[in-house]
Amino acid sequence: MSRPLGSALFGHWGDRIGRKSMLIASLLTMGLSTALVGVLPGYATLGVFAPILLVLLRFVQGIGLGGEWGGAALLAAEHAPPGKRGLYTLFPQLGPAIGFILANGVFLGLSIGMDSATFAAWGWRIPFLASAILVLVGLLVRLGIAESPVFRRAAPTRVPLLGLLRHQPRELLLGSGARIVQYALFYTATTYCLSYGTSVLDIPRTEMLMLTMIAVIFLGLFTVAGSLASDRFGRRRVVLAGCVAGIVWGLVIPPLVATALQASLGSIAIGGFISLLAVVSLFCVVKLRETRDEDLDTARTG
């Protein structure tokens, strides 16, 4: 719920006052709320206020994350030279794959190095607190980024969000629909299947985390392939191919995972996860395109 709100909020002000400033604001919003989760007192200290504050921090985190992807992809696209927009915008989309591997790698290491009681007591806080380092690095990088040339040349709009709803409802619905499908598949593979595998199939959590991380490596590889293909064959063709593949694998994955107990865990679970995440990666070339490609090229070159 908070991510769409963050997308609308940061997208609106990104058109009003600039991409760079909104990327800095979204980073601080997401990063600070994540780090604060690591120091949040437990139920024994705050009582019912502990889960309330946790939900509030997660909500604020989602608002920041909602502004992150769109702003980063748009800034990369508007800085890209003609013919290389897919190449430039693949780097923001590599963030989910790299971040997922790093985050789950830390949790996996803590799970192996700590007993369950220690991890539940304070070990889980370490990744949240460590995220403050990434926020600092990201802030230093973003402070040195130049403002988008397209934004500098664009005519100011008083209420960009209303203009979008009034003049481009079709593009908004198509883009949102593609992203909904992508995230539905992604979280089915990374969250639901992880829970299903450990709680229903009784697969050890460490093994499931390792399988998911292997699959996400392929997600990153296919993200690169899909983005480069979009420069060569066009965005529309690649996205349509991803949609068709997503429909097929969305139906195939459940029986594959469900038979993991009766069949080889390696062949079923790894194959299923890799296949689904590979399909998901094809949606990663969906770009926020407020204008046509040639219009961006004209604005960039002046």
**Would you place residue 238 in the very low, low, confident or very high pLDDT band (cuts 50, 70, 90)?**
confident
Alpha-carbon span 33 to 154, nearest angstrom: 33
**pTM for this predicted structure:** 0.76
CA 185 distance to own-chain centroid: 12
Distance of alpha carbon 145 from alpha carbon 123, whole angstroms: 35
Beta strands in the chain (DSSP E): none
The pLDDT > 70 percentage for the chain reads 83
Q: 122: which 2 tokens?
A: 């304070």
* 294, pLDDT greater than 60: no
d(CA 253, CA 187): 13
Domain range summary for the chain, segments of one domain joined by +: 1-83+119-145, 168-302
Chain-wide mean pLDDT for the chain?
78
pLDDT in tens, 109-151: 887 788 878 887 888 888 888 888 888 988 888 888 888 888 8
- Which parts of 85-124 fold into alpha helices (H)? 85-113, 116-118
